[in-house]
Amino acid sequence: MLTPEAFKEARGVLQGVLRPTPLIHSPYLSRAWGNHVYLKPENMQATGAYKLRGAYYKISKLSQAEKEQGLVTASAGNHAQGVAYAAQAAGVEATIVMPTTTPLVKVNNTKDYGAKVVLHGEVFDDAAQLAAQMSQERGLTYVHPFNDLTLATGQGTIAYEIFQDLPDVDVILVPIGGGGLAAGVSTLAKLLNPNVEVIGVEPTGAASMKASLEAGQVVTLPSATTIADGVAVKTPGDKVFPYVQKNVDRVLAIEDGELVEAFLDIMERHKMVVENAGLLTVAALKHLEHRGKNVVSVLSGGNMDVITMASLVQHGLICRGRIFTFSVLLPDRPGELLRVAQVVSENNGNIIKLEHNQFVDINRQSGVELRVTLEAFGHEHKAQILQAMGRAGLQAAETGTNDFYT
């Protein structure tokens, strides 16, 4: 049961374990979406995510016999690190089953905390099946990543800190994967103030909780496809589902493309790295009908590998018109490349990549293709450069931008 007494006990157990993650007011996001927006940066925890809360509290409640049997769990990464960290602190052996798609940084960090890592399956549900099998066959104590009320109690302590920093909070946005975080935060939030609105946020490609709430029971999606790997769950937890059903006011579904924009906002404006699952609550801000309300976005984690980070930066800059590519056919004679460069320079563009193709036509004397990738200030500036090319007699057409890091 998620009770006031249990939440108080969890808060006491976690004192001295957690890093303080005080709310951060975001003037930029507040201006952009018409509310007073605050960020709860759980990406700044010791393991890079809120999962440490639930894992540490759960392991503290295990019997000595359960600890001696050794622990096993399945995780897309953040719960893995939480369990590994807490198990190491308790002197307990832990085996973590992780999907093969888990970012390398999460795998390596889990190993660094002393856990044994087994990679299996493409999504969390595949890994969970193997972890459950290992628990039965080897007698290991299974620490579920979300479908556990003790675990959810630990996660829910986030609500205490939100109300401590912002007693008059109106709306709390919380990411949803399996439902443990949402169950804990929403239940405690409603105990502290029944009038606060708690909104869950899922990726459209893995909106299993939204589908379950609409069906009135836990359902399983045929697939979970999203760049938010931390919440790629096909089946939400049946134990936490009633609490989500009762205390989460509604659930929003966010497209992956919106997470790219949110990544740039948080990195450029707040100098923080937040993983895609944690960015759900930032992307959700523009979908709120509220105006002038105190809104808290829970940033659930920040464990992102540099390859994913580079991809997000690239796609984000392209989406915002800050990087683009155009193609222009030129006569094959000296000075034509200089003409293009001069137009770009006069309009304050910055060329970062050139591709000169003399074989676009069987008769290369009739023309060569020049593909130019450049930096701009945004979509208006991009349009200005393309229009200037036209006025100079250069028929430039925007094309798809390939990887500009190579």
Which pLDDT score, from 0 to 100, does residue 230 have? 87
* pLDDT at residue 174, as a whole number: 98
**Do 134 and 154 share a structural domain?**
no
Residue 62 within a domain: yes
Q: Do 60 and 34 share a structural domain?
A: no
Range of the domain at 114: 52-145
Kindly tell me the sign of the dihedral angle through the C-alpha atoms of 362, 367, 373, 376.
Answer: negative
Question: Is the domain of 282 the same as that of 187?
Answer: yes
pLDDT at residue 334, rounded to an integer = 84
Q: Are residues 109 and 216 in the same domain?
A: no
Confidence of residue 225 (pLDDT cuts 50, 70, 90): very high
Q: Which CATH number characterizes residue 371's domain?
A: 3.30.70.260
178 and 300 co-located in one domain: yes
Q: Provide mean pLDDT across the span 125-145.
A: 93
pLDDT tens profile 228-281: 988 999 999 999 999 999 999 999 999 999 999 999 999 999 999 999 999 999
Both 201 and 270 in one domain: the answer is yes
Q: CA–CA distance from 209 to each of 2, 161, 262, 348 (Å)?
A: 19, 25, 22, 48
| 65 and 42 belong to one structural domain | no
Element (H, E) at 175: strand 171-175
**Residue 296: inside a domain:** yes
DSSP-assigned states of every residue in 186-199? HHHHHHH-TT-EEE
Note if the pTM is more than 0.85: yes
Torsion of the alpha carbons at 368, 374, 377 and 381, rounded to the nearest 10: 0
- Among residues 145, 164, 191, which one ends one of the domains? 145
Gap between the Cα atoms of 296 and 197, Å rounded:
10
Can you tell me the distance from the alpha carbon of 45 to that of 57, in angstroms, rounded to the nearest whole number? 15
| C-alpha closest to that of 103 among 272, 256, 229, 274 | 229
Same domain, residue pair 347 and 379: yes
